Amino acid sequence: MFGAFVLGGLVATGVIIAGMVLLVTTFGTPDTIVGTHPPAAEGAQVAKVGECLSGSPPEAVVVDDSDVVDCDELHGSEVAAVITAPGERTTPGDDMLATFVDEACTMAFEDYVGSSVTGSELGYGGVAPSDEAWAEGDRRVWCLVDTTILEPGEGTVRDSHR
- Cα-Cα-Cα-Cα dihedral of 94, 62, 72, 121, to 10°? 0
116, 147, 139, 160: which is closest to 51 by C-alpha?
147
Rounded CA separation 8/13 (Å): 9
Q: What are the distances in angstroms from CA 12 to CA 9, 17, 18, 20, 84?
A: 5, 9, 10, 13, 31
Q: Tell me the pLDDT tens digit for each residue of 87-145.
A: 777 677 778 899 999 999 999 999 999 999 999 999 999 999 999 999 999 999 999 99
Q: What are the distances in angstroms from CA 56 to CA 1, 52, 61, 77?
A: 59, 10, 9, 5
Spatial CB neighbours of 15, under 8 Å, sequence gap ≥ 6: none
What's the number of CA atoms in the CB half-sphere (13 Å) around residue 117?
Answer: 17
Higher pLDDT, 26 or 62: 62
Q: Tell me the pLDDT tens digit for each residue of 2-56.
A: 444 433 443 333 333 333 333 333 334 568 999 999 999 989 999 999 999 999 9
Rounded CA separation 125/67 (Å): 17
Task: Please give the pLDDT value at position 88.
Answer: 74
Q: What is the pTM (predicted TM-score) of this model? A: 0.80
Rounded CA separation 106/61 (Å): 20
Higher pLDDT, 1 or 25: 1
Task: Please give the pLDDT value at position 23.
Answer: 34
Rounded CA separation 161/27 (Å): 28
Q: Is the pLDDT of residue 1 over 70?
A: no
Task: Please give the pLDDT value at position 30.
Answer: 60
Give me the residues paired with residue 141 across strands.
83
